[in-house]
């Protein structure tokens, strides 16, 4: 009994000492969805604390190993919802609408034209600007005598692919295109390539095709031209990479100059730092008509939790990222992202990122409309159709028929 | 004068009573952490989950959780992907049970024979079980997608370099069975080894003297005496095959696509992965909960059936 009393009193003393030692520091939590830039994110969090005294706890969740949607649900259920977290479209916005803060009066809103707006309110801070088209190896095209400016229509690509295919031995390539369609990579086909059907050739923000498809009305001419483009890409791709290749295999083939074209976006700059050749983006050739532009958009927007304990500190954090030297250095130099803000003059080092900036500067951009379709529809309904087509289990006509049936079944 | 010590009065602070009480205390003290964790992490969430399966719970910042009755269960049975996953999981389970048990029993027979280096084999066969399912899946994915095609091309079997096992649904299921057998056979082998070692040698000798040949001895003595092990191993392989998830996700990712009822779907999405997708991709968390409960009931029924059947065949010495 005596021993217990002594232990208890020691314990009380200890607790009171620690209570005295604790100071009220402001801590804000930042969840971001690009695991490949985690090192840059952690460095910036430290720099922010050194410069402002506010502690930032940053976590990365994305890619294969972490599902952001599930993570946010778990955080919400545990009562530890982050102060800043990313959303990628209307579905994610609707999940969290009741706790998202209105940021319309923030200083950074004036510096960007691609903030996320709902019902006239600005709610999303653009993480970066990203884009994709057909990345091409300029040196190999020069060697084959093909002018990249002809690569903006179906006919242009047919001519180029046929010529390159006939010169495979001479150029030292395994295939003309490095393309994937397998199950784990169906975001390349059913999310990105699918977007060509939705927005290629249309004015930025023009949702006429998207809305028609959501209503179950399929423009068969446009679908047919698009299907032929898909068939072209699949026929001239390395069949092993196409059916079972993963991200590293696909990008690796382009990096090692075993393919002339790569169907990916400027985010692959991080994997191409050791490239020894010149590269840039060309438009997709999914129409008979000329479609001179590439697909550009912020991939995600940061939203702010309006129930945050330190709401003003969180808002200041976002402003600081845009206005301060260390914030700009983090976004452009360390994380290699293209900034979405007019006042930032730094340029990213990657060739593909610079290509995207060039297309943006000339105003030749098309929008990302794939997020108007649910993740489930793209991944589990469209994805397998592309996969079957890539495995040559269905013909072009059957591909178009199954796509049409899928849109009709998906009718809202 | 000191009070005389009454040898007939029991002192609760000494002797047998105190020892028994202490033993009980120690028993509960040791059991408590495990029991507490089990209760908090399994029982309570399971009970809460049963409630959620009758509502429209989405785990997000929804404004209210509404009761919807049997809607989630009815829609689960109408979901053709749920039916497909059930079907493919059953096929996979049957193949896996046969494969794991045959291989494990064969290895156990080798292990209890007079073969040299038995101890090394025992450790070697058991090692794959220690590697986690996700890493296993990625390693074998490399073997199936890169190593086998290139090795086949090098020795002239060009069929295998162009037809990848993971590229077709039927062979992808076989690939999962291969990986799962490789991982699990060692563990099951240990159970069979223990059982085989308990078959009394003098019984076998007596039978041999009476003229029974190797096959008769095996069929009439060894198998009935190993039956308790079969009860356990069948149960374990049945439940584990049904619950297969990490090898599924990392090896095939839901698999190459195939056509079912006229619609293209991912071909090797087993039940656990399908339920996970219902929650993460279809964002239908409440329906996923309902499917998980149906899943639980199916496994429990199959297991009870199997244990009852095999227990009848057990022979006690």
Per-residue pLDDT tens over the stretch A76-120: 989 999 999 999 888 889 889 999 999 999 999 999 988 999 999
Top mean-pLDDT range of A2-16, A364-378, B110-124: A364-378
Instruction: Give domain status of residue B218, yes or no.
Output: yes
Q: Which residues of A touch B254 (CB under 8 A)?
A: 183
Which residue in B162, B266, B283 is closest to A384 by CB distance?
B266
Q: For position B135, what pLDDT does the model report?
A: 86
Do A394 and A383 reside in the same domain of the chain?
Answer: yes
β-bridge partners, A294 = A365
CA of B257: which chain A residue's CA is closest?
Answer: A384
Task: Tell me whether residues A183 and B282 touch, CB distance under 8 A.
Answer: no
Which residue's entry shows tokens 């079957």?
A388
Instruction: Give domain status of residue B66, yes or no.
Output: no
Q: Which residues of A touch B259 (CB under 8 A)?
A: 388, 393
**Ramachandran sector of residue A257 (left: φ over 0; alpha: ψ -120 to 50; beta: rest):** left
Mean of pLDDT values over B171-196:
92
Instruction: Give domain status of residue B61, yes or no.
Output: no
Do B191 and B162 reside in the same domain of the chain?
Answer: yes
Report chain A's mean pLDDT, rounded to a whole number.
91
Instruction: Give domain status of residue B219, yes or no.
Output: yes
Could you give the number of structural domains in chain B?
Answer: 2
B265 near A CB under 8 A: yes
Mean of pLDDT values over B11-31:
84
Mean of pLDDT values over B253-262:
86
Do A103 and A197 reside in the same domain of the chain?
Answer: no
More confident residue, A394 or B201: A394
Last-in-domain residue among A327, A342, A357: A342
Q: For position A1, what pLDDT does the model report?
A: 66
Task: Tell me whether residues A380 and B253 touch, CB distance under 8 A.
Answer: no
Q: For position A5, what pLDDT does the model report?
A: 74
Give dist(CA A9, CA A323) in Å, integer. 52
Report chain B's mean pLDDT, rounded to a whole number.
87
Instruction: Give domain status of residue A241, yes or no.
Output: yes
Could you give the number of structural domains in chain A?
Answer: 2
Domain range spanning residue B306? 71-312
Do A222 and A235 reside in the same domain of the chain?
Answer: yes
Which residue in B60, B166, B257 is closest to A388 by CB distance?
B257
Task: Tell me whether residues A98 and B252 touch, CB distance under 8 A.
Answer: no
Instruction: Give domain status of residue A14, yes or no.
Output: no
Which residue in A73, A99, A243 is closest to B167 by CB distance?
A243
Helix, strand, or coil (residue A239): helix
For chain B, positions 280-299, list CB contacts with chain A under 8 A: 280-283, 285
CB distance A242 to A230 below 8 Å: no
Question: Is the per-residue pLDDT at B316 higher than 60?
Answer: no
Helix, strand, or coil (residue A290): coil
Beta-carbon contacts below 8 Å between A and B? 87
Task: Tell me whether residues A183 and B164 touch, CB distance under 8 A.
Answer: no
Question: Is the per-residue pLDDT at B17 higher than 90?
Answer: no
Task: Tell me whether residues B266 and A383 touch, CB distance under 8 A.
Answer: yes
B63 near A CB under 8 A: yes
Best mutation target among B61, B153, B261 (most A Cβ atoms within 10 Å) is B61
Do B127 and B31 reside in the same domain of the chain?
Answer: no
Question: Is the per-residue pLDDT at B317 higher than 60?
Answer: no
Do B161 and B98 reside in the same domain of the chain?
Answer: yes
Do A175 and A241 reside in the same domain of the chain?
Answer: yes
Q: Classify each residue of A302-322 as buried b or exposed e, where b means 16 or more C-beta atoms within 10 Å of its C-beta.
A: bbbbeebeeeebbbbbbbbbb
A405 to chain B nearest CA, in Å? 9
Q: Which residues of B touch A405 (CB under 8 A)?
A: 263
Do B280 and B232 reside in the same domain of the chain?
Answer: yes
Instruction: Give domain status of residue A194, yes or no.
Output: yes
Give dist(CA A267, CA A135) in Å, integer. 11
Do B162 and B235 reside in the same domain of the chain?
Answer: yes
Q: Which phi and psi (to 5°) does residue A58 adopt?
A: -105, 135
Do B77 and B152 reside in the same domain of the chain?
Answer: yes
Q: How confident is the model at residue B228 (pLDDT cuts 50, 70, 90)?
A: confident
Q: How confident is the model at residue A23 (pLDDT cuts 50, 70, 90)?
A: low
Do B290 and B152 reside in the same domain of the chain?
Answer: yes
Give dist(CA B281, CA B264) in Å, integer. 17
Q: For position A14, what pLDDT does the model report?
A: 67
Give the CB-side neighbour count of residue B158, counting CA atoms within 13 A: 0
Question: Is the per-residue pLDDT at A151 higher than 70?
Answer: yes
Count of positions (residues) in chain A: 412
Instruction: Give domain status of residue A13, yes or no.
Output: no
Give dist(CA A281, CA A265) in Å, integer. 9
Q: Which stretch of A210-214, A387-391, B52-56, B209-213 has the lowest confidence by average pLDDT?
A: B209-213
Mean of pLDDT values over B264-283:
92
Q: Which residues of B touch A91 (CB under 8 A)?
A: 283
Give the CB-side neighbour count of residue A212, counting CA atoms within 13 A: 14
CA of A380: which chain B residue's CA is closest?
Answer: B265
Strand ranges, E, within A127-166: 130-132, 134-137
Q: How confident is the model at residue B18 (pLDDT cuts 50, 70, 90)?
A: confident
Domain range spanning residue A207? 131-297+365-409
Do B119 and B222 reside in the same domain of the chain?
Answer: yes
Q: Is the pTM of this model over 0.90?
A: no
Q: For position B263, what pLDDT does the model report?
A: 87
Instruction: Give domain status of residue A108, yes or no.
Output: yes
Query: What are the DSSP calls for A329-378, one per residue?
Result: IIIIIIS-PBP--TT-----S-HHHHHHHHHHHTT-EE---GGGS-HHII
* Closest to A137 in 3D by CA, of A158, A162, A156, A164: A164
Q: How confident is the model at residue B150 (pLDDT cuts 50, 70, 90)?
A: confident
The CATH number linked to A45 is 3.40.190.10
- Any residues with CB less than 8 A from the CB of A103 and at least 6 apart, and which? A109, A115, A122, A123, A124, A125, A304, A315, A318
A96 near B CB under 8 A: yes
Do A282 and A401 reside in the same domain of the chain?
Answer: yes
Question: Is the per-residue pLDDT at B266 higher than 70?
Answer: yes
Which residue's entry shows tokens 């001239």?
A236
Q: For position A20, what pLDDT does the model report?
A: 54
Q: Which phi and psi (to 5°) does residue B118 adopt?
A: -60, -40
Do B22 and B131 reside in the same domain of the chain?
Answer: no
Question: Is the per-residue pLDDT at B243 higher than 80?
Answer: yes
For chain A, positions 342-401, list CB contacts with chain B under 8 A: 374-376, 379-381, 383-385, 387-388, 391, 393-394
A270 near B CB under 8 A: no
Instruction: Give domain status of residue A212, yes or no.
Output: yes
Q: How confident is the model at residue B168 (pLDDT cuts 50, 70, 90)?
A: confident
Task: Tell me whether residues A183 and B254 touch, CB distance under 8 A.
Answer: yes
B7 near A CB under 8 A: no
Mean of pLDDT values over A280-289:
94
Do A205 and A290 reside in the same domain of the chain?
Answer: yes
CB distance B59 to A69 below 8 Å: no
Instruction: Give domain status of residue B292, yes or no.
Output: yes
Alpha helices in A188-343 (DSSP H): 194-199, 208-214, 220-235, 239-244, 247-255, 311-323, 325-328
More confident residue, B172 or B111: B172
Alpha carbon separation from A132 to A112, A241, A262, A384 (Å, rounded)? 20, 20, 10, 22
Do B173 and B247 reside in the same domain of the chain?
Answer: yes
Q: For position B13, what pLDDT does the model report?
A: 73
Q: For position A116, what pLDDT does the model report?
A: 93
**Dihedral sign for Cα atoms in the order A96, A99, A104, A106:** negative
Do B269 and B198 reside in the same domain of the chain?
Answer: yes
β-bridge partners, A134 = A282
Q: Which phi and psi (to 5°) does residue A251 adopt?
A: -70, -35
Share of chain B above pLDDT 90, in %: 40
Question: Is the per-residue pLDDT at B20 higher than 90?
Answer: no
Q: For position A18, what pLDDT does the model report?
A: 60
Mean of pLDDT values over A196-202:
94
B63 to chain A nearest CA, in Å? 8
Which residue in A95, A375, A387 is closest to B257 by CB distance?
A387
Do B126 and B213 reside in the same domain of the chain?
Answer: yes
Q: For position A29, what pLDDT does the model report?
A: 94
Do A159 and A201 reside in the same domain of the chain?
Answer: yes
- Read off the tokens for A355: 């290509």
B137 near A CB under 8 A: no
Instruction: Give domain status of residue A4, yes or no.
Output: no
> What is the ipTM score, two decimals?
0.78
Instruction: Give domain status of residue B144, yes or no.
Output: yes
Instruction: Give domain status of residue A350, yes or no.
Output: no
Instruction: Give domain status of residue B32, yes or no.
Output: yes
Do A113 and A211 reside in the same domain of the chain?
Answer: no
Strand order in the sheet with A134-137: A175-178, A259-262, A134-137, A279-282
* Closest to B252 in 3D by CA, of B92, B141, B143, B90: B141
Q: For position A332, what pLDDT does the model report?
A: 92
What is the Cα Rg of chain A in Å? 24
Could you count the other beta carbons within 10 Å of the beta carbon of residue A409? Answer: 11
Give the CB-side neighbour count of residue B309, counting CA atoms within 13 A: 9
B158 near A CB under 8 A: no
Instruction: Give domain status of residue B127, yes or no.
Output: yes
Q: Which residues of A touch B149 (CB under 8 A)?
A: 240
């Amino acid at each position: 009994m005596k021993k217990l009393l002594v232990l208890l009193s020691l314990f009380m003393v200890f607790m009171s000492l620690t209570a005295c030692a604790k100071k009220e520091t402001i801590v804000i939590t930042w969840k971001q969805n690009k695991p490949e830039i985690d090192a840059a994110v952690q460095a910036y969090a430290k720099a922010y604390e050194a410069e402002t005294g506010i502690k930032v706890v940053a976590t990365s969740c994305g890619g294969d190993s972490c599902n952001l949607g599930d993570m946010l649900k778990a955080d919400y259920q545990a009562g530890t919802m982050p102060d800043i977290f990313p959303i990628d479209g209307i579905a994610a916005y609707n999940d969290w609408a009741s706790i998202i803060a209105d940021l319309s009066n923030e200083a950074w809103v004036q510096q960007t034209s691609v903030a996320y707006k709902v019902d006239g309110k600005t709610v999303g801070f653009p993480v970066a600007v990203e884009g994709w088209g057909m990345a091409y190896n300029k040196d190999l095209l020069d060697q084959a005598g093909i002018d990249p400016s002809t690569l903006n229509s179906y006919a242009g690509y047919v001519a180029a692919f046929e010529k390159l295919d006939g010169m495979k031995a001479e150029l030292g390539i395994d295939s003309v295109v490095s393309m994937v369609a397998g199950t784990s990579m169906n975001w390349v086909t059913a999310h990105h390539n699918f977007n060509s059907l939705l927005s290629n050739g249309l004015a930025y923000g023009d949702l006429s095709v998207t809305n028609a498809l959501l209503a179950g009305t399929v423009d068969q001419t446009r679908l047919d031209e698009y299907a032929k483009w898909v068939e072209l890409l699949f026929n001239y791709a390395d069949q092993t990479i196409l059916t079972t290749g993963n991200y590293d295999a696909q990008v690796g083939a382009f990096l090692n100059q075993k393919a002339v074209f790569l169907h990916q976006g400027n985010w692959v700059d991080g994997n191409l730092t050791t490239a020894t050749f010149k590269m840039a983006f060309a438009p997709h050739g999914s129409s008979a008509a000329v479609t001179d532009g590439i697909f550009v958009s912020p991939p995600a927007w940061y939203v702010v939790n309006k129930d945050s304990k330190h709401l003003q500190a969180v808002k200041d954090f976002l402003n600081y990222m845009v206005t301060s030297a260390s914030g700009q250095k983090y976004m452009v130099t360390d994380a290699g992202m293209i900034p979405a803000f007019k006042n930032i003059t730094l340029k990213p080092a990657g060739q593909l990122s610079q290509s995207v900036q060039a297309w943006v500067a000339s105003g030749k951009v098309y929008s990302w409309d794939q997020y108007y379709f649910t993740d489930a529809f793209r991944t589990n309904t469209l994805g397998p159709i592309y996969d079957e087509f890539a495995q040559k289990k269905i013909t072009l006509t059957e591909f178009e028929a199954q796509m049409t049936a899928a849109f009709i079944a998906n009718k809202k | 004068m000191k009070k005389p010590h009454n040898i007939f009065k029991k002192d609760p602070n000494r002797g047998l009573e105190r020892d028994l009480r202490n033993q009980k205390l120690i028993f509960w003290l040791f059991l408590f952490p495990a029991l507490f964790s089990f209760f908090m992490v399994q029982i309570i969430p399971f009970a809460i989950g049963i409630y959620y399966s009758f509502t429209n719970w989405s785990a997000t910042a929804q404004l209210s959780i509404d009761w919807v009755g049997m809607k989630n269960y009815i829609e689960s049975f109408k979901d053709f992907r749920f039916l497909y996953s059930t079907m493919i999981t059953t096929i996979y389970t049957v193949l896996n049970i046969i494969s794991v048990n045959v291989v494990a029993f064969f290895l156990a027979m080798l292990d209890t024979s007079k073969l040299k280096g038995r101890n090394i084999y025992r450790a070697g066969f058991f090692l794959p079980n220690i590697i986690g399912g996700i890493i296993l899946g990625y390693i074998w994915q490399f073997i199936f997608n890169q190593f086998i095609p290139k090795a086949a091309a090098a020795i002239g079997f060009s069929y295998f370099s162009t037809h990848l096992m993971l590229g077709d649904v039927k062979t992808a299921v076989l690939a999962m069975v291969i990986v799962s057998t490789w991982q699990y056979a060692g563990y099951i082998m240990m159970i069979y080894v223990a059982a085989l070692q308990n078959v009394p040698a003098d019984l076998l000798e007596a039978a041999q003297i009476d003229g029974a040949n190797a096959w008769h001895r095996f069929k009439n003595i060894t198998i009935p005496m190993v039956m308790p092990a079969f009860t356990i191993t069948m149960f374990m392989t049945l439940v584990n095959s049904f619950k297969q998830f990490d090898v599924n996700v990392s090896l095939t990712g839901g698999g190459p696509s195939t056509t079912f009822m006229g619609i293209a779907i991912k071909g090797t999405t087993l039940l656990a992965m399908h339920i996970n997708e219902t929650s993460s991709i279809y964002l239908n968390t409440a329906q996923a909960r309902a499917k998980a409960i149906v899943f639980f009931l199916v496994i429990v029924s199959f297991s009870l059936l199997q244990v009852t059947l095999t227990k009848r065949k057990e022979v006690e010495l």
